[in-house]
């Protein structure tokens, strides 16, 4: 197992750790149905409206004999300057016009940054929000800093255009309560004091006073944050809640410390009869209008968990595998070869959130929560989904968990179309199929990167080499593979660039599949039938990391005509063993010339070094690569690192 694979497993498995203290094998994720679970789920995955009392009855029924209480399984293309007129590059987003939370934001005049808490020599520096004005020469003025609530870990923030407001999302560390069904005759020991359930926070600040943030409103919501997006002034927050049926099955919301109110009305909720997972969860979509006085809001919910959300300009799609398993040591994730994933579609218009329909696809969205949204894409009303349908996980499976015979292809593309009369997302086509049986990926490979770009899609699979597949989706009823490019290593993320070019960021590898250092590649995909490798850049030895290993927002692309400036926080191992020193951490920078087809490394910005001494501990605490970000403007880069924002011309 490679070091890269280990990191992904650990990050994915962490939310389920509380489960594993109670059961050797526990179900994680999924959703539910009304009353006791049926022996086999119906074919339809559609939701049905809940009547008063339905939710409480459902959850109480699921706690009967054979029932279980469940917890959370859930934890791009760059935003291109329209017409090249915007003098800065914002957060990488999957869909134009749909903003995503990030740790650093700018409006061109101010640079706002979220700084995580860290402890050095017993002294804790609390999490904070800083604001710094950009000077005429590009440098930054003195920071104005606000200390954030120490009970919550800041996740990301939004800076809605023209509102003089800033919104910060946070998550309180905690665990959902799990009760697993013991073996016949066995007794299940429960902790004397149940761990606290999770809460998420939304802190609103005014930036009207010279850009300096001033607290306005604080909102706390019961549950765990699945994800969020913002369209215009409306912030959409998706959260999951594990209900305590002895009290109230609905999550609560508190505004400025007031008494908790129900986050959602039961009449605005849905049940899902098809999902037979033993997990007990409630998923809520809450829309907040950040421009309205008092922060107007509205919520919808359904019974079931969510692994990933994808949002287009008009719809949100929520996906969840019907059930999967986590090994008792939290190292092994097992999806059965015949796993199914449910996808629920909701229409969005301001605060209005309306259920449209549901569908299912074969396979699952993978193990990495950061990549799951990228495997869905809406185009001309159809939803395209790329699922993992192979036999191989991120680690070797114990013999007792050996899976049945795998399906032919490691990846499957499914095109879904809404049937409004039946409230269904109906499959229009799949790939591979009987007419086009060629597999997406070679035997034993895993899906590493997926990017949809209008009528095309790019897929990277890897085991020993990196096959890049270019998919032609122009006819949704007949998707096909247009071309394939094989090269060493693999790409974790793909970014279409002007002039028919494609940037890949991932790892180099030896011919036998041993993973090496970081690798950036520039490819020509203007002719989908003949993709070509134009240039590549290597950085560091095995064990080197980038911010993309922790967040899909870890990269920043500033596009001006044919010139693309790439900024990527990295931790570069200079030795051949990933566990050995020395190493340096900083902002790697590159220039991709899409006209000339070149990719050139620029001088990096070094933030700190690691030498293997005892001093490395405090350095790792302060310079947490997972939280490092950057934004770029016409004068240079602004690099969030070590509790500060560094300007690099």
Quick one: what percent of the chain has pLDDT higher than 90?
Answer: 64
Which of 80-84, 423-427, 457-461 comes out lowest in average pLDDT?
A: 80-84
pLDDT at 465: 65
Q: DSSP characters for 309-326?
A: EEE-SSEEEEEEES-EEE
- Locate 6 and state its tokens: 């280990």
192 or 479, which is more confident?
Answer: 479
Check if the beta carbon of residue 308 is closer than 8 Å to that of residue 319.
Answer: yes
Beta-bridge partners for 440: 411
Beta-bridge partners for 218: 203
Residue 327 has pLDDT above 80, yes or no: no
Check if the beta carbon of residue 138 is closer than 8 Å to that of residue 635.
Answer: yes
* Each residue's pLDDT tens digit, 45-72: 788 898 888 887 777 776 554 333 333 2
Check if the beta carbon of residue 308 is closer than 8 Å to that of residue 367.
Answer: no
Residues 6 or more apart in contact with residue 543 via CB below 8 angstroms: 3, 573, 577, 578, 579
Query: DSSP state, 37?
Result: P
The strand ranges marked E within 304-455 are 308-311, 315-321, 324-326, 333-334, 340-349, 352-362, 376-379, 382-388, 411-419, 424-431, 446-453
Quick one: what percent of the chain has pLDDT higher than 70?
Answer: 78
* Each residue's pLDDT tens digit, 237-279: 999 998 876 677 899 999 999 999 999 999 999 987 766 555 6
Q: Is the peptide bond before 432 cis (omega within 30 degrees of 0)?
A: yes
Check if the beta carbon of residue 277 is closer than 8 Å to that of residue 30.
Answer: yes
| Rounded-to-integer distance, Cα 422 and Cα 417, Å | 12
Tell me, rounded to whole angstroms, the distance of Cα 566 from its chain centroid: 21
Mean per-residue pLDDT, 94-103: 97
Q: Tell me the average pLDDT of the chain.
A: 83
Mean per-residue pLDDT, 329-341: 60
- Prediction pTM value: 0.86
* Each residue's pLDDT tens digit, 404-413: 444 568 899 9
Residue 194 has pLDDT above 60, yes or no: no
pLDDT at 30: 34
pLDDT at 276: 54
């Amino acid at each position: 197992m490679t070091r890269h694979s280990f990191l992904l497993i650990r990050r994915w498995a962490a939310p389920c750790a509380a489960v594993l203290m109670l059961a050797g094998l526990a179900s994680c994720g999924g959703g539910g149905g009304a009353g006791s679970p049926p022996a086999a789920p119906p074919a339809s995955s559609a939701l049905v409206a809940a009547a008063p009392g339905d939710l409480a009855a459902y959850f109480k029924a699921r706690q009967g004999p054979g029932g279980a209480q469940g917890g959370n399984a859930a934890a791009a293309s760059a935003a291109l300057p329209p017409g090249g007129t915007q003098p800065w590059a914002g957060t990488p987003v999957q869909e134009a016009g749909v903003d995503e939370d990030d740790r650093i934001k700018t409006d061109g005049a101010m640079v706002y940054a979220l700084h995580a808490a860290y402890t050095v020599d017993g002294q804790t520096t609390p999490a904070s929000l800083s604001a710094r004005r950009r000077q005429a020469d590009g440098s930054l003025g003195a920071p104005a800093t606000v200390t954030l609530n120490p009970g919550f870990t800041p996740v990301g923030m939004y800076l809605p255009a023209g509102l003089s407001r800033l919104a910060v999302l946070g998550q309180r560390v905690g665990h959902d309560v799990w009760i697993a069904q013991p073996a016949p005759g066995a007794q299940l020991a429960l902790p004397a004091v149940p761990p606290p359930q999770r809460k998420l926070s939304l802190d609103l600040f005014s930036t009207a006073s010279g850009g300096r943030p001033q607290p306005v409103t604080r909102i706390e919501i019961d549950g765990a944050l699945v994800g969020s997006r913002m369209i215009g002034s409306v912030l959409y927050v998706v959260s999951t809640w594990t209900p305590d049926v002895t009290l109230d099955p609905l999550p609560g919301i508190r505004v400025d410390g007031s008494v908790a109110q129900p986050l959602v009305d039961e009449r605005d909720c849905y049940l899902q009869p098809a999902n037979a997972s033993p997990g007990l969860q409630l998923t809520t979509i809450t829309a907040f209008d950040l421009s309205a006085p008092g922060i107007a809001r509205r919520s919808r919910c359904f019974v079931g968990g969510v692994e990933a959300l994808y949002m287009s300009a008009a719809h949100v799609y929520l996906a969840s595998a019907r059930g999967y398993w986590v090994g008792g040591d939290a190292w092994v994730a097992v999806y059965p070869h015949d796993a199914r994933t449910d996808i629920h579609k909701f229409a969005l218009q301001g605060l209005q959130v309306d259920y449209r329909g549901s569908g299912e696809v074969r396979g699952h969205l993978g193990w990495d929560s950061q990549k799951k949204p990228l495997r869905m894409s809406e185009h001309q009303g159809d939803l395209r989904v790329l699922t993992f349908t192979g036999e191989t996980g991120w680690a070797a499976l114990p013999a007792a968990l050996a899976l049945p015979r795998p399906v032919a292809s490691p990846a499957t593309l499914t095109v879904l179309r809404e049937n409004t009369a039946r409230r269904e997302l109906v499959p229009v086509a799949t790939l591979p199929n009987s007419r086009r049986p060629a597999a997406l990926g070679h035997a034993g490979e895993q899906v590493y990167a997926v990017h949809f770009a209008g009528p095309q899609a790019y897929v990277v699979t890897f085991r020993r080499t990196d096959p890049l597949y270019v998919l032609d989706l122009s006819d949704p009823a007949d998707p096909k593979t247009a071309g394939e490019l094989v090269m060493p290593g693999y790409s974790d993320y793909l970014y279409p660039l002007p002039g028919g070019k494609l940037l890949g960021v991932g790892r180099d590898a030896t011919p036998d599949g041993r993973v090496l250092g970081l690798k950036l590649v520039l490819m020509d995909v203007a002719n989908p039938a003949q993709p070509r490798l134009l240039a590549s850049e290597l950085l560091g030895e095995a064990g080197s990391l980038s911010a993309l290993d922790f967040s899909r927002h870890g990269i920043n692309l500033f596009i001006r005509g044919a010139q693309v400036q790439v900024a990527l926080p990295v931790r570069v191992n200079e030795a051949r063993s990933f566990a050995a020193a020395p190493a340096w951490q900083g902002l790697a920078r590159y220039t991709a010339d899409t006209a000339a087809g070149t990719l050139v490394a620029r001088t990096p910005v070094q933030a700190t070094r690691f030498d293997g001494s005892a001093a490395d501990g405090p350095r790792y605490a302060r310079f947490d690569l997972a939280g490092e970000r950057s934004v770029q403007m016409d004068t240079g880069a602004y690099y969030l690192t070590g509790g500060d924002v560094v300007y690099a011309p």
